[in-house]
Structure 1
Amino acid sequence: MRIRILVVAALLMLQTVAMAETRYVTDKIEIMLREGKGMEHKIIGVARSNDPVEVLTIEGEYAQIRLGSGLEGWVLARYLSPAIPKPMVIANLSNEIEQTREKLKNAQQELVRLGDEKKTLEASQSALEKKVQELTAENKDIRAGCADFIALREDHAKLSAELKNARTTLSDLSAENEELRENTRLMWFIFGSAAVLSGFIIGMYLQSLRLRRRRQINF
Structure 2
Amino acid sequence: MTPFRLLVVLVFVFSSIAAAQARTVWVDDKIYLPVRSGAGSQFRIIENAVPSGTAMELLESDQNGYSKVRTTKGTEGWVSSQYLSSTPIAATQLKKARQDLETAQAEVRQMQDVLANVTGERDNLQNSESSLADRSSELMAELKRIRDIAASSINLERRNGELLQENQKIRNELEVLTAENERMEAGKESDFMLLGAGLVLGGVLLALLIPMLKPTRKSDNWA
Bucket of the pairwise TM-score, normalised by the shorter protein: 0.5 to 0.7
Conserved? CA contact 2:36–2:77, under 8 Å: yes
What number of residue pairs does the alignment pair up?
Answer: 185
- Alpha-carbon distance in structure 2 between the residues aligned to 1:189 and 1:86: 147
1:158 equivalent in alignment to 2:180: no
1:55 equivalent in alignment to 2:58: yes
Which position in structure 1 is the counterpart of 2:49? 46
1:143 aligned partner, one-letter code: R
* 1:98 aligned counterpart, secondary structure: helix
Q: How much does 1:33 deviate?
A: 0.6
Q: How much does 1:50 deviate?
A: 2.1
How well do the aligned residues superpose, as a CA RMSD in angstroms?
3.8
1:133 equivalent in alignment to 2:137: yes
Q: How much does 1:112 deviate?
A: 4.2
* 2:54 aligned counterpart, secondary structure: coil
- Alpha-carbon distance in structure 2 between the residues aligned to 1:115 and 1:84: 43
Q: Which has the higher contact order (CA 8 A, sep 6+)?
A: 2
Conserved? CA contact 2:32–2:50, under 8 Å: yes
- Alpha-carbon distance in structure 2 between the residues aligned to 1:103 and 1:57: 41
1:88 equivalent in alignment to 2:92: yes
1:36 equivalent in alignment to 2:38: yes
TM norm structure 2 = 0.61
Q: How much does 1:41 deviate?
A: 0.8
* 2:108 aligned counterpart, secondary structure: helix
1:27 aligned partner, one-letter code: D
Q: Deviations over 1:108-151 (max 9, x none)?
A: 34434544554444344334423332332233223223322332
1:148 equivalent in alignment to 2:152: yes
Which position in structure 1 is the counterpart of 2:103? 99
Larger mean CA deviation between 50-59 and 63-72 belongs to 50-59
> Identity over the aligned pairs, expressed in percent?
29
2:57 aligned partner, one-letter code: E
Q: Deviations over 1:138-183 (max 9, x none)?
A: 3322322332233223312321332133223312331233134324
Q: Deviations over 1:17-59 (max 9, x none)?
A: xxxxxxxxx8323322112221111122233322121234444
Question: Superposition pairs for residues 7-26 of structure 1, below 5 Å?
Answer: none
Q: Deviations over 1:178-205 (max 9, x none)?
A: 134324544664676688779989x99x
Which position in structure 1 is the counterpart of 2:179? 175
Q: Which residue among 26, 29, 34 is the counterpart of 1:27?
A: 29
Conserved? CA contact 2:29–2:53, under 8 Å: no
Structure 1's consecutive aligned runs of 4 or more residues displaced over 6 angstroms after TM superposition are 194-201
* 2:68 aligned counterpart, secondary structure: strand
- Alpha-carbon distance in structure 1 between the residues aligned to 2:99 and 2:179: 113
TM norm structure 1 = 0.62
Larger mean CA deviation between 162-171 and 102-111 belongs to 102-111
Conserved? CA contact 2:29–2:89, under 8 Å: no
Q: Which structure 2 segments of 5+ residues have no match?
A: 1-27, 209-223
